[in-house]
Amino acid sequence: MENIKYFFKNNIRQYGMLIALIFITIFFQIMTNGILLVPMNVTNLILQNAYVFILAIGMTITILTGGNIDLSVGSVVAFIGAICGTLIITMKVNVGIALFLAIAIGFIIGVWQGFWIAYIRIPAFIVTLAGMLLFRGLTIFMLKGLTINPFPEVFQKISSGFLPDLAKGAFGKYHSTAILTGIVGTVIYIIYQVKRRASQRRNGFDIMSFPLFLLQIILISAFIMLFSIWLAAYKGLPVIFVIIGVLILAYSFFTNRTVPGRYLYFMGGNEKAARLSGINTNKVLFFAYVNMGVLAAVAGIAYTARLNAASPQSGLNFELDAIAACFIGGASAYGGIGTIIGSIIGALVMGVLNNGMSILGIGSDVQQIVKGLVLLFAVAFDVLSKKKSR
């Protein structure tokens, strides 16, 4: 019991919101009479919140550098949608070329904003606020205030398509690709955790007791398999889910296992100390915003494909959803603390709250109040826990 208390006390940031997500999910599952976790609704939950997951990954990187945020991402999403609509629908450009150009424009946007923030040292709040206005205006100018649609089916499948069933009938009515992916994911997770534990033991780090370690393995493995079965019971693995999964794995590896990734945490913890240690903090900050521009472009493509239209109203308040997801997921408002997985959990909390309250017929006014309070309490928890540790 003491080992369990010690474990949770020292990992409260990492597991606190996960526990909250579980309780929120159980609450709405009961209140909606089981509708929340119907396989079709679980799939729709992923599809509807795909843009939040993608933006939250990028926003985590910027927040790690010192609590910096990007207020322009919602407008960039709309602008990239306008670019895609103009190229694909109006100019009949090949979808592959249009996607490449859209992501390249996202990169240029990141370079533009990163230059002012990292090298001219204009506060990120001001630069991205200007970007919010600039790219919203460009969107309206490009679309002339009109919504253009529809997109070709191949473009729509980015957000509405599913991977083919590789072994149809192998698991009865369940989609085999989703089941096999769940099995492979579970095996990889177990191998990774066993190797990680062995490495920590060799290097003299404190490790959790074996019974607690085994319990963690069982619970996470069960969740992975249960989630894959949920997806398999509907249409299988959504294409956008695979894209998000690749992004989560790549950015988790980058932030946890690479030197440049650790620079983000070091800079967020103490920029002056990081600079004195030889870290080029300008380059780190510049990278964070270039990366945000690229991921905002990816989110813009995903959202536009889901909406099947390029609209001047796209992306409204998306920056707030992404920022809230990061802070709810455990990122510190001061920078230097936060994880990609934590931000994804934060996005899931917001998504489940939205979906559950919508199923119950709760109005958007009450939904906004609830989400605002959740964000406030999450940041208050961060501030209070930081004071206690001093």
Tens of pLDDT, residue by residue over 189-231, are 999 889 888 888 888 877 777 888 888 899 889 988 999 999 9
CA-based angle 347:339:23, to the nearest 5? 45
| pLDDT recorded at residue 30 | 93
pLDDT for the residue 73:
96
Q: Residue 370 pLDDT > 90, yes or no?
A: no
Burial label, 96 (beta-carbon count in 10 A; 0-12, 13-18, 19+): exposed
pLDDT at 167: 78
pLDDT at 3: 55
C-alpha closest to that of 41 among 291, 299, 245, 233: 233
Query: Considering only CA atoms, which of 301, 244, 295, 325 is closest in space to residue 110?
Result: 295
Task: Give rounded-to-5 percent helix, strand, coil for the chain.
Answer: 75, 0, 25
Average pLDDT of span 130-145: 95
Which structural domains are found in the chain, ordered by start?
2-161+238-389 (1.10.3470), 162-237 (no CATH)
Mean pLDDT of the chain: 89
Predicted confidence (pLDDT) at residue 264 exceeds the cutoff of 80: yes
Residue 124 binned pLDDT confidence (cut-offs 50, 70, 90): very high
- Tell which phi-psi region holds residue 258, choosing left (phi > 0), alpha (psi between -120 and 50) or beta: beta
User: pLDDT value at position 367?
Assistant: 86
| Mean pLDDT along residues 374-385 | 76
What's the rounded Cα separation, in Å, for the pair 154 and 171? 28
Residue 59, CB half-sphere, CA atoms under 13 Å: how many?
Answer: 36
- Digit-coded pLDDT (tens) for 228-253: 999 999 989 999 999 999 999 999 99
Mind listing the pLDDT tens digit for each residue in 50-73? 999 999 999 999 999 988 899 999
Instruction: Answer yes or no: are the C-beta atoms of 109 and 138 closer than 8 Å.
Output: no
Work out the burial of residue 199: count CB atoms within 10 Å of its CB; fewer than 13 is exposed, 13-18 middle, 19 or more buried: exposed
Determine the average pLDDT of the residues in 311-318: 92
Report CA dihedral (241, 243, 244, 249) to the nearest 10 degrees: 120
Give the tokens for residue 64.
């790690």
User: Which H/E stretch holds residue 97?
Assistant: helix 95-114
